[in-house]
Chain A
């Protein structure tokens, strides 16, 4: 039995002018201690799905219109807000994209760190402060003791993201959702932050959902990767398998558009032509069909479901998966670890 089980989650944003079908039925399971990457371009519904799971969609436009999110035998989507609040932060925690704006500018780091400790673990002030120091130390903030009374603007971006991570892991959550945790940081800091995340997840046996648009990031961190497009999952496999044998044309396109250090001079990056689907309009067939070189008549008429390929555990939603002949040669697949990415 898996730790978290998402079934047919559907999220819509309803405004007076239009309805955006942000997430149209996604399902996945997450085991304890597993690291799962969800990859996709801006606006494909990655962040929205995680916000929906925690019940913190922007109101009043965002609403969950279907599906269930089963965590420890209860459907999170059906829980009243007060019960969900005790799960957020305690059992499931989240790290956000921009560390520059995700900390409250008028409260000290100490206050913000101790907030959830005192609320969820019922610590008194002194214990919470000691724990906060220990947490800051664990995420690699030097002289943590002195920095408890500091305000967010006195920290650099990378340090702030470390503080965010410390906040997120403060109550030893079973699931950590990291929403583009490194996007706002420069590359060396990115690698450091990923290293901290990897270590913590391994030490605490936390399950990690890493949401990103950066294939390099999942390559270094995640055991399994799901590719998302226009509110649906299009491919899911172990990260190694996905990078070696991408079956969905979109995944292949993403891989080809990653710049390579070892590329020959004449090689050009291959962008994916076209623009993402307008999610305010309903459509038939595969969402990627208009941009796809492999699209068939069927792709335009019927929507493909996720089905397992001949490789076990590798799922793809495509009528005409990428044939072996078109796969990039295996030795050129970029699978850098976080440390290598740091250079």
Chain B
């Protein structure tokens, strides 16, 4: 029987529920996760279409200079700041900055962490010991303190700040990945793959990493939330981006903290934006964790 020919004609490699399809299914039915996705989606849309959504240039003076600027109303949704600029426009443009900061700093941390963690976990031996001892030294330093120190060294440009916050994430990613790789390295399917002659690098990339990456993805979402808070925090203590034109949420917050009693809107809106974006990311992270974690699988 020519099974081969008959088979090739109706090859359907796409079908079949993979672990990821399964995980996605769980994720879809998680209310918190959906709310998180919705929140972040709103922020993403705002960030992309900022010039369309924002009624004014965030740095343009559109109202009177005032010590106690006017609150919402009068054509200004979130009110004005002391320079007479439109607060809503600032928050809208700030979304760009926050998402960028979240993505880039997590990207930096993730890349370095992935490389270090997989090298350590896969090679083992003294390489592992060396890398992990360095990570161990970094880990107990509170991430915010570490970021503060790094910004002081690297400088206060936006790029430097993102790199600094990213670096604080490196040990977390590296340790997480190394741990899962150690567990996977001795797995039977790895031995089976070796027994059919799969070479080392491919073993790591095609077999071990895909089986170890799930907890790292979860951690990445959560780290993005922390990164946004960290950058806002850095801005708040005066170590934010030195460029005065950047409408950073944390910066708006810190500049106006002293005016809390007179003009609540100047503190409330940027703070609320930070809370919402961080909440959204955390909800996604938790949802991912619940849908990917093998312990919660049937």
The yes or no verdict on A and B being binding partners is: yes
Contact B12 A134 (CB under 8 A): no
Nearest residue (CB) in B for A50 is: B195
**In the assembled complex, B206 has its CB within 8 A of some CB on chain A:** yes
Contact B8 A96 (CB under 8 A): no
CB distance from A203 to the nearest CB of B (A): 16
**In the assembled complex, B76 has its CB within 8 A of some CB on chain A:** no
CB distance from A142 to the nearest CB of B (A): 11
- Residues of A near B16 (CB, < 8 A) are 108, 147, 149-151, 154
Nearest residue (CB) in B for A55 is: B194
CB distance from B291 to the nearest CB of A (A): 15
Contact with B along A322-336 (1 / 0, CB 8 A): 000000000000000
CB distance from B152 to the nearest CB of A (A): 42
CB distance from A135 to the nearest CB of B (A): 10
- Docked pose: A205 CA to B210 CA in angstroms: 37
**In the assembled complex, B192 has its CB within 8 A of some CB on chain A:** yes
- Docked pose: A115 CA to B192 CA in angstroms: 12
**In the assembled complex, B75 has its CB within 8 A of some CB on chain A:** no
- Docked pose: A71 CA to B13 CA in angstroms: 38
- Residues of A near B140 (CB, < 8 A) are none
Contact with B along A107-142 (1 / 0, CB 8 A): 110100001100110000010011101100100000
Number of interface residues of B (CB under 8 A): 36
- Docked pose: A120 CA to B197 CA in angstroms: 9
B120-166 residues with Cβ-Cβ distance < 8 A to A are 124-125
CB distance from A61 to the nearest CB of B (A): 11
- Residues of A near B186 (CB, < 8 A) are 58
Nearest residue (CB) in A for B210 is: A106
Contact A56 B191, CB 8 Å, known A108-B13, A151-B19: yes
Contact A89 B197 (CB under 8 A): yes
Contact A133 B188 (CB under 8 A): no
Checking B195, B199, B211 against A105 with a beta-carbon cut-off of 8 angstroms, the contacting residue is: B211
- Residues of A near B195 (CB, < 8 A) are 54, 56, 88-89, 93-94, 96
Contact with B along A37-57 (1 / 0, CB 8 A): 000000000000001001010
Nearest residue (CB) in A for B199 is: A85
**In the assembled complex, B189 has its CB within 8 A of some CB on chain A:** yes
- Docked pose: A130 CA to B18 CA in angstroms: 22
Contact B189 A133 (CB under 8 A): no
Contact B191 A146 (CB under 8 A): no
Contact A167 B196 (CB under 8 A): yes
CB distance from B167 to the nearest CB of A (A): 30
- Docked pose: A130 CA to B4 CA in angstroms: 5
Number of interface residues of A (CB under 8 A): 52
CB distance from A276 to the nearest CB of B (A): 24
**In the assembled complex, A280 has its CB within 8 A of some CB on chain B:** no
Contact B4 A116 (CB under 8 A): no
Contact with A along B58-83 (1 / 0, CB 8 A): 00000000000000000000000000
- Docked pose: A89 CA to B206 CA in angstroms: 17
Contact A101 B7 (CB under 8 A): no
CB distance from B203 to the nearest CB of A (A): 10
Contact B124 A60 (CB under 8 A): yes
Checking A54, A97, A103, A153 against B189 with a beta-carbon cut-off of 8 angstroms, the contacting residue is: A103
- Residues of A near B6 (CB, < 8 A) are 145
**In the assembled complex, B243 has its CB within 8 A of some CB on chain A:** no
- Docked pose: A222 CA to B294 CA in angstroms: 40
Contact B197 A86 (CB under 8 A): yes
- Docked pose: A164 CA to B191 CA in angstroms: 12
Contact B196 A104 (CB under 8 A): no
**In the assembled complex, A102 has its CB within 8 A of some CB on chain B:** yes
CB distance from A90 to the nearest CB of B (A): 7
- Docked pose: A54 CA to B8 CA in angstroms: 34
**In the assembled complex, B48 has its CB within 8 A of some CB on chain A:** no
Contact A134 B4, CB 8 Å, known A106-B210, A110-B13, A146-B15: yes
CB distance from B279 to the nearest CB of A (A): 31
**In the assembled complex, B261 has its CB within 8 A of some CB on chain A:** no
Checking A96, A105, A149 against B192 with a beta-carbon cut-off of 8 angstroms, the contacting residue is: A96
Contact B207 A107 (CB under 8 A): yes
**In the assembled complex, A148 has its CB within 8 A of some CB on chain B:** yes
Contact A103 B196, CB 8 Å, known A133-B3, A137-B3, A144-B3: no
- Residues of B near A129 (CB, < 8 A) are 8, 11, 13
A-B contact pairs, 29 of them (CB 8 A): A54-B195, A56-B194, A56-B195, A60-B125, A85-B198, A88-B194, A88-B197, A90-B197, A94-B195, A96-B191, A97-B188, A102-B188, A102-B189, A102-B191, A102-B192, A104-B211, A106-B211, A107-B207, A119-B196, A120-B197, A144-B3, A145-B3, A145-B12, A146-B15, A149-B16, A151-B16, A151-B18, A151-B19, A167-B192
Residues on A facing B (Cβ under 8 Å): 51, 54, 56, 58-60, 82, 85-90, 93-94, 96-98, 101-108, 110, 115-116, 119-120, 126, 129-131, 133-134, 137, 144-151, 153-154, 164, 167-168, 170
Closest 6 CB pairs of A and B: A89-B196, A145-B7, A89-B197, A133-B7, A101-B188, A85-B197
Beyond A102-B192, A147-B16, 17 extra complex contacts between A and B, CB < 8 Å: A51-B191, A58-B186, A88-B196, A88-B197, A90-B197, A94-B195, A102-B188, A103-B189, A105-B211, A106-B20, A107-B206, A115-B198, A119-B198, A129-B11, A131-B4, A134-B3, A134-B7
